């Protein structure tokens, strides 16, 4: 996933914004990753996706989303 993130960043903001189309994907893991990688370019929309996944309590994805949100809230994770 690091390689995917690096490639999207190299392609610019528009490439990362394209991830927003995946916010409604049927696979929850795809939604978690898309939201996480787009936090730097669409923080409000990405946060809503992560909050919904956390609220679903569907593990382990809810935990992944929750950990990302916790990192955002306590300042450990600063998306760019």
79 belongs to a structural domain: no
CATH code where residue 54 lies: 1.25.40.70
34 belongs to a structural domain: yes
Tell me the C-alpha distance between 21 and 6, whole Å. 19
21 belongs to a structural domain: yes
> Count of domains in the chain?
1
Q: Write out the residue range of the structural domain in which residue 63 sits.
A: 2-74
Number of Cβ within 10 Å of residue 8's Cβ equals 19
Instruction: Give the pLDDT band of residue 33 (cuts 50, 70, 90).
Output: very high
Alpha-carbon dihedral sign for residues 69, 73, 76, 79: positive
> Residue range 19-42: average pLDDT?
97
Q: Which residues contact 15 (CB under 8 A, 6 or more apart)?
A: 7, 8, 9
> Residue range 56-64: average pLDDT?
97
Q: Mean pLDDT across the chain, nearest whole number?
A: 96
Task: Tell me whether the omega of the peptide bond preceding residue 9 falls within 30 degrees of 0, making it cis.
Answer: no
């Amino acid at each position: 996933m690091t390689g995917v993130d690096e490639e999207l960043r190299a392609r610019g903001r528009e490439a990362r914004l394209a991830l927003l189309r995946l916010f409604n994907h049927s696979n929850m893991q795809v939604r978690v990753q898309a939201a996480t990688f787009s936090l730097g370019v669409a923080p409000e929309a990405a946060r809503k996706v992560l909050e919904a996944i956390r609220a679903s309590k569907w593990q382990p994805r809810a935990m992944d989303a929750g950990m990302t949100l916790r990192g955002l809230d306590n300042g450990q994770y600063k998306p760019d």
